[in-house]
Amino acid sequence: MTSRATAVTEARPLEHRAFLFGGLDDFLSRAVPFVRDGLDDDGREVVVVVAEPRLTALRDHFPGCADDMFIDASMFYSHPVRTLRSYLELVKAKDPKRVHALAEPVWRREWTERETLEWARYESLINEVFKGTGASALCPYDTYTLPPRILEHARRTHPRLVQGSTETRNERFTEPEAFSAEADRARVFPTPRESDYLPVASHDLHELRRWVGDRSERHGLSRQDAQNLVTAVNEVAANALRHGIPPVGVRLWTEDADLVCEVGDNGYWRDFSPLVGFVPPRTALDNGFGLWTVRLLVDLVEVRAGWDGTFVRMRLRR
């Protein structure tokens, strides 16, 4: 008779490594063996998500492999939380095989410091979201082209470092919760004097949805983005009315290319975690389910929880 302990699949550790390379030849010297090791292991499923020209160069080394094994990173890495969801779907689709991913995050020069920090947080979250899956991820970072602050993010968010033929334990690694808390502390939350404001006192949020929708389109959001923001604000406001302390209010303003909408209440979120809404919930009843959905709908969500109240700020590029 099989015991309950042996019937349950044991959690398998995640392998998450930063691969620091300089130039194409150095990249291929490590990437090709990594992909080949995955292909030779019947228990693994290989996925290659890298940027050009490295994608084509790597594909040329494996002419017999299916095209869908190779994914252009510039298309895949478009939004931190949506990319997390895509990898989760991939891991689920390949189960019981373990995903063996060469996964190169994309870092764009035109990103603001706020956007760059969210992608660094994404790399940190990999350690939390995929722990116990047995997945293996090698994340390439080009030391010839990436600025020092990005390479520093790599060292903070990966438990192990690979450079040349050497793999070492990363002494600079910071646990995801601590990394996210540090990222939040680095932010400032100024609210402009000129902002539209709507007090929210009723659980009937029809007026709030109309108010946000009208202003979103007036400020240049597409119809789909405006609808996404309406849905996101409705979710956050309903949660503030249910769990927060009055007064509850919504502010909306423009900031450079962004439309910003903030829901605030006077309550103190005692059990707030910097990972809330980043780690996907298992059910709709789990803590953070609503905020996970909100993060998928808009470009960026920032949360400030203190003694002066709880504020959820949502951004969408106009």
Q: Where are the domains of the chain?
A: 14-185, 196-317
Q: How would residue 188 be classed by pLDDT, with cut points 50, 70 and 90? A: confident
pLDDT (average), residues 289-314:
93
142 closest CA partner among 16, 35, 52, 15: 52
HSE, side-chain direction, 13 A CA sphere, residue 212: 30
> Which CATH fold topology does 14-185 show?
Rossmann fold (3.40.50)
The string of pLDDT tens digits covering residues 21-38 is: 999 999 999 999 999 999
Fold of 196-317: Heat Shock Protein 90 (3.30.565)
At 3 the pLDDT is: 40
How far apart, in whole angstroms, are the C-alpha atoms of residue 19 and residue 160?
9
- What is the arithmetic mean of pLDDT over 7-18? 76
Confidence tier at 8 by pLDDT (50, 70, 90): very low
Q: What is the mean pLDDT of residues 177-187?
A: 91
Res 5: pLDDT: 39
pLDDT band at 287 (very low <50, low <70, confident <90, very high): low
Say how far apart CA 87 and CA 99 lie, in whole Å. Answer: 9
Residue 315 has pLDDT above 80, yes or no: yes
Dist. CA 26–CA 223, nearest whole Å: 46
Say what the pLDDT of residue 10 is: 57
Higher pLDDT, 269 or 33: 33
**How would you class 203 by CB atoms within 10 Å of its CB: exposed for 0-12, middle for 13-18, buried for 19 or more?**
exposed
pLDDT, residue 286, reads: 58
The pLDDT value recorded for residue 4 is 39
pLDDT of residue 7: 37
**Segment 76-89, tens digit of pLDDT:** 999 999 999 999 99
User: Tell me, what's the pLDDT at 6?
Assistant: 37
